[in-house]
């Protein structure tokens, strides 16, 4: 377990924890400065020979534009410069999977994907602004590493919550003892807070709840704990409006968000969970290799108590469903010894009592 934060809407605590992850004030880094100078010169040469008009938001890209850009403004040089930037701007190592510059094949496509403004067309100018302007840098880091599709929305899987409510009410022993719940790959935490609301609805007092949310991404852990979206004030307002009643009801007192890998095998003596959620991950764009799915499910099953349940729901489009149909996920779960039920709520995989 690496980065870990308790939920808090305190401005001071939010700022303190943000400073744990992001360098504040101007950035002074000689390697990055040299990369910016080289990139600025490369962009000027690009402007001299590029046969099309410069990029602007909404521009319809053609293969000719992409080819010319990659020829005169290679993504490899941009990637290298931003690798220096992320290293200097973040206080934690950024994984290649989290870095959109690593997977982008062309600068024009990345500009579109990140929804940058027209004055960002020159990557050197963008970097100069980011190293000197803290506010711009924080907004860029969140919008780049925490795009809107990470997390989703509250009450995203209502049928699953309804199923889980019935599951809990049928197990009276769980309503009067400490209940441990994990929202694995929790994103920005909306589903984790949904769980807290459900446990209150079922009459489980906050002091008997242990609700954890885990993510590989440090910024997701931070955002989930503090409802902080520096790049999206409207989303932040909506998020906090939803969670404030849970804070008022003290339902967040035993919550914890932490950085973790769902493929991690539990350590010796690590307490297991009664309920594990793993929504929007298995079989989708972030985890679709069958061997990795099986490794993940097996690891989660080892973190589950006897008689506990793993719940998995998704809203993947038809392409991912075709590549990894629910029947394949069911087969994987059954192969490792789980009892699986499939319904409108998604998948529910129970671990047999010892």
- The domains of the chain, with CATH numbers, are 24-145 (no CATH), 158-351 (3.40.50.150)
Nearest to 217 by CA among 265, 300, 286: 286
The residue assigned the tokens 């010892």 is: 354
d(CA 276, CA 162): 15
Per-residue pLDDT at 202: 92
Spatial CB neighbours of 277, under 8 Å, sequence gap ≥ 6: 160, 181, 182, 183, 184, 186, 191, 195, 310, 311, 312
Helix (H) or strand (E) segment spanning residue 350:
strand 346-351
Q: Give the phi and the psi of residue 273 in degrees, each rounded to 5.
A: -110, 150
Per-residue pLDDT at 320: 80
pLDDT tens for residues 230-247?
999 999 999 999 999 999
Q: Where do the DSSP E strands lie in 219-312?
A: 255-259, 273-277, 304-312
Written as six digits, the tokens of 266 are 């539990």
Q: What's the whole-model pTM score? A: 0.92
Compute CA 305 distance to the chain's CA centroid, rounded to the nearest angstrom.
26
What does the mean pLDDT of the chain come to?
93
pLDDT tens for residues 290-347?
899 999 999 999 999 999 999 999 988 777 888 888 899 999 999 999 999 999 999 9
């Amino acid at each position: 377990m690496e980065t870990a934060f308790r939920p808090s809407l305190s401005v001071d605590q939010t700022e303190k924890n943000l400073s744990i992850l992001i360098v504040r004030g101007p950035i002074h880094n000689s390697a990055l400065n040299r990369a910016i100078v080289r990139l600025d010169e490369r962009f000027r040469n690009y402007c001299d020979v590029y046969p099309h008009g410069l990029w602007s938001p909404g521009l319809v890209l053609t293969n000719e534009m992409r080819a010319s850009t990659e020829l005169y403004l290679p993504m490899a040089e941009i990637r290298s410069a931003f690798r220096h930037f992320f290293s200097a701007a973040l206080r934690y190592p950024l994984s290649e999977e989290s870095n959109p510059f690593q997977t982008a094949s062309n600068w024009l496509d990345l500009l579109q994907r990140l929804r940058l403004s027209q004055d960002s067309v020159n990557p050197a100018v963008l970097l100069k602004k980011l190293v000197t302007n803290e506010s711009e840098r924080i907004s860029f880091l969140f919008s780049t590493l925490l795009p809107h599709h990470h997390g989703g929305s509250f009450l995203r899987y209502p049928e699953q919550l309804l199923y889980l409510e019935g599951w809990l009410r049928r197990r009276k022993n769980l309503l009067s003892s400490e209940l441990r719940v994990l929202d694995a790959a929790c994103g920005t935490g909306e589903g984790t807070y949904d769980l807290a609301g459900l446990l209150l609805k079922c009459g489980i007092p906050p002091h008997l709840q242990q609700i954890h949310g885990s993510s590989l991404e440090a910024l997701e852990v931070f955002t989930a704990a503090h409802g902080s979206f520096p790049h999206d004030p409207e989303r932040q307002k909506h998020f906090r409006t939803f969670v404030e009643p849970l804070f008022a009801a003290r339902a967040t007192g035993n919550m914890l968000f932490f950085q973790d890998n769902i493929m991690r095998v539990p350590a010796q003596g690590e307490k297991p969970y009664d309920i594990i959620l793993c929504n929007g991950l298995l079989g989708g764009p972030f985890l679709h290799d069958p061997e990795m799915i099986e490794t993940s499910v097996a690891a989660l099953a080892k973190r589950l108590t006897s008689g506990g349940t793993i719940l998995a729901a998704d809203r993947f489009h038809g392409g991912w469903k075709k590549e990894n149909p629910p029947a394949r996920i069911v087969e994987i779960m059954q192969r490792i010894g789980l009892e699986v039920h499939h319904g409108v709520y998604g998948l529910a995989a129970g671990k047999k009592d010892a």
